[in-house]
């Protein structure tokens, strides 16, 4: 049970990393809407920033913002990019 949960968590983390990379590539394209580009910048900035909304030294809560906020930003960013661009 514990190994399945850990494997699932690792898979989700890998997907998140791939999506952030895809967002960066989409940002560089000229045919991506400006609103999407702004949100992509915020998402990538938050992913790479050492500054968190909740500091990591606070037990459990410090990591929850990374586990909740970042995936939400990535999801919203991906929905703003046209499907044709993401498929490419």
8 Å CB contact between 69 and 46: yes
Structure tokens at 33: 């809407």
Residue 49: helix, strand or coil by DSSP?
coil
Q: Are 44 and 71 in contact (CB under 8 A)?
A: no
Each residue of 74-84: pLDDT tens digit?
Answer: 999 999 998 88
Dump the DSSP string for 54-84: S-TTSTTHHHHHHHHHHHHHHHHHHHHS-HH
Q: What are the tens digits of pLDDT across the range 9-46? A: 788 878 888 888 889 999 999 999 999 999 999 988 88
Cα 61 to Cα 49, 54, 66, 74: the distances in Å are: 17, 7, 9, 20
């Amino acid at each position: 049970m514990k190994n399945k949960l850990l494997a699932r968590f690792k898979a989700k983390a890998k997907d998140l990393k791939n999506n952030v990379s895809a967002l960066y590539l989409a940002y560089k394209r000229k045919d991506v809407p400006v609103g999407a580009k702004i949100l992509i910048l915020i998402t990538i900035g938050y992913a790479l920033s050492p500054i968190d909304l909740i500091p990591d030294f606070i037990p459990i809560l410090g990591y929850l913002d990374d586990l909740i906020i970042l995936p939400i930003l990535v999801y919203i960013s991906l929905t703003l990019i046209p499907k044709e661009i993401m498929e490419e």
